[in-house]
Amino acid sequence: MKTLVSFFSAQSRKTADLATALAFVLGADRYEFKPDPPYTPEDLDYNNPDARVNREAKAQALIPIQGRIENFEAYDRVMLGFPIWWGAIPLAVKSFCKGYNWTGKRVCVFVSGWDDVSRFAEILQPYMEGAEILDVKLFKGPNTPEFRRWAEALKT
């Protein structure tokens, strides 16, 4: 079975750390996606009403994503990682998902932050039609027992 660990990480590379650890444990390929152009620290300053993230959140339109996974169809299983933004899924994630054919993919979602993710599978599903979302889990970091147990259990 071929597994891809795809992820978006912006503020403090916390999701990137989770993705790196997961890709290592699973022996999987790792792919980081970014908006086009990538976010600068000023873009992420959510305390500023004029910051790019606030303008994008207000518009709620999908945004351009840099680059492309050429062999996406080769993967049976896709891990999707991202931080929680305003208790929700960042637009970069929805925009990334919309760009691929998810039919038949098995998907596990890992989220970095401290909020409620109980509705995330339902919210993501329309952006990845045909995917089977098996799991959505929230983690504080790669060095927690919860994360290590979860990653080990995904080894097959």
Ligand X SMILES: Cc1cc2nc3c(=O)[nH]c(=O)nc-3n(C[C@H](O)[C@H](O)[C@H](O)COP(=O)(O)O)c2cc1C
Closer CB to ligand X, 127 or 139, in the complex: 139
List the one residue from 20, 30, 46, 69 that touches ligand X (CB under 6 A).
Answer: 46
Closer CB to ligand X, 6 or 15, in the complex: 15
State how far the alpha carbon of 44 is from the alpha carbons of 3, 26, 56, 127, 134, in Å. Answer: 30, 31, 11, 23, 30
Which has the closest alpha carbon to 128: 64, 78, 53? 78
- Between CA 79 and CA 64 the distance in angstroms is 21
Q: Are strands 77-83 and 106-112 parallel, antiparallel or unpaired?
A: parallel
Closer CB to ligand X, 12 or 103, in the complex: 12
> Binding of ligand X at residue 12 (CB under 6 A)?
yes
Please tell me the count of residues contacting ligand X according to CB under 6 A: 20
List the one residue from 2, 55, 59, 86 that touches ligand X (CB under 6 A).
Answer: 86
List the one residue from 5, 10, 21, 65 that touches ligand X (CB under 6 A).
Answer: 10
- Between CA 80 and CA 106 the distance in angstroms is 11
Which has the closest alpha carbon to 97: 71, 53, 129, 61? 129
> Binding of ligand X at residue 24 (CB under 6 A)?
no
Tell me which residues touch ligand X (CB under 6 A): 9-16, 44, 46, 53, 83-87, 112-115
